[in-house]
Amino acid sequence: MPFISENKLEEALVRAVKSPATAPDFYRLLLQSDLLVLGTAEGQEAASDKFSIEPGGQLQLVTGENNGQKFLPVFSSLPRMQEYVKEESKFLSVNGRALLDLTRGAPVILNPASEYGREFMPGQVEQLLNPMPASAQVALGTSDAFYPMPLINALTSVFEKHPDVQTAWMIRVGIGEQGSQVQPLVGIETGGDMAALVVQIERAAAQDAAAIPFDVQRVDRARPTGLASALLQAQPFYQRAVPGRLLN
């Protein structure tokens, strides 16, 4: 079935896929728009009209599973939800910012069964809700003094076991006028299950590089978001060898 945009958010989503430079408009509308999510609110299971959740109120949300990893499916319109759910189900309409804020720490997939959708890892959700201030400093790491070798070794050991991981970069990101809070940001180019990969990365880092805080972001060369453009300017610290080809 051809994808027909139902609202401004979906129009912006299609534009962002076709022209990555327009992605900021999509992210703005994502936070401003109402999204649909499967589930109910405590005490409002039978509600059919608009209602507000009281402080301390609980949502019972339905999660999905992808390659053994749970995620929260959310939808930009009723037709997008109907592509995913084939039977009658209860659902809520929640402001995008409020929904992402309530579910911090959970991987989110927008329109998981649709031609046009978007996967958000917890770090990307955090970046949407709390964008980096203008005073943030980004620097490319090139020296051994920057590259924390215990972390590099831990990450490389994980990447070597995942054929879907093609390339990885690292930059240091400092927040504040003096960049006083600095930590590595790791960019990963992979076609695999990012959520499962992050779990293994965190496990390996906790064992071999526990004292080194860092963050992780998926890098899509065709649609760079967040700090992906800065990551792509750095020299990769990991690149999978291609049989019959030499790395430059």
pLDDT digits (tens, 9 = 90+) for 177-234: 444 457 788 999 998 888 889 889 988 988 888 778 888 888 988 887 667 878 888 8
Interstrand relation of 34-41 and 59-61 (parallel, antiparallel or unpaired): antiparallel
List the single range of 75-79, 136-140, 192-196, 223-227 with lowest mean pLDDT: 136-140
Q: Is the pTM of this model over 0.95?
A: no
The domain made up of 137-239 has a fold known as: Alpha-Beta Plaits (3.30.70)
φ/ψ of 9, rounded to 5, equals: -60, -45
Q: Cα–Cα distance between 233 and 137 in angstroms, integer? A: 15
Beta-bridge mates of residue 41: 59
For the chain, the residue count is 248
Domain(s) of CATH 3.40.1350: residues in the chain: 8-122
Q: Are 198 and 106 in contact (CB under 8 A)?
A: no
Q: How far is CA 246 from the centre of its chain?
A: 32
**8-122 under CATH 3.40.1350, yes or no:** yes
Q: What is the mean pLDDT of residues 167-173?
A: 86
